[in-house]
Amino acid sequence: MRMRGLSILGLLVLACFPAIAALAQSSGSKTKTVQSTKSEADEGERRFRQNCGRCHNPPDALSPREVKAVLQHMRVRAMLSAEDERLILKYLAP
């Protein structure tokens, strides 16, 4: 009886491993994503200063869709690259 109880407990612990592993992985991935988004926003800010900041300050709060329109406009005007556009979007509309 005691053996049976220990076996069930062991199985439960084993069953929990994938869930714990998945949780740890998900938490790590979230941290990684947040860090990656933050570093991309920082890089976007740097590129904004180097390109857009030459002529004007960052605009007042805009929605991501508005920023996208502005950035496509400036991509043609100021010859921003696709990477500049993506990163500056992360900075202006995180």
Q: Which residues bind other proteins (CB under 8 A)?
A: 46-47, 49-51, 53-57, 59-60, 62-63, 65-66, 68-70, 72-73, 75-77, 79, 81-83
- Residue number with CB closer to other proteins (32 or 73): 73
Shortest approach of other proteins to residue 32 CB, angstroms? Answer: 25
* 24-31 long-range contacts, CB within 8 A, separation 24+: none
Shortest approach of other proteins to residue 54 CB, angstroms? Answer: 4
- Residue number with CB closer to other proteins (40 or 70): 70
What ranges in 1-94 are assigned the alpha helix state H? 2-51, 64-77, 82-92
Taking the C-alpha atoms of residue 70 and residue 74, their distance in angstroms, rounded to an integer, is 6
Shortest approach of other proteins to residue 40 CB, angstroms? Answer: 17
Nearest 5°: CA angle at 35, between 71 and 18? Answer: 125
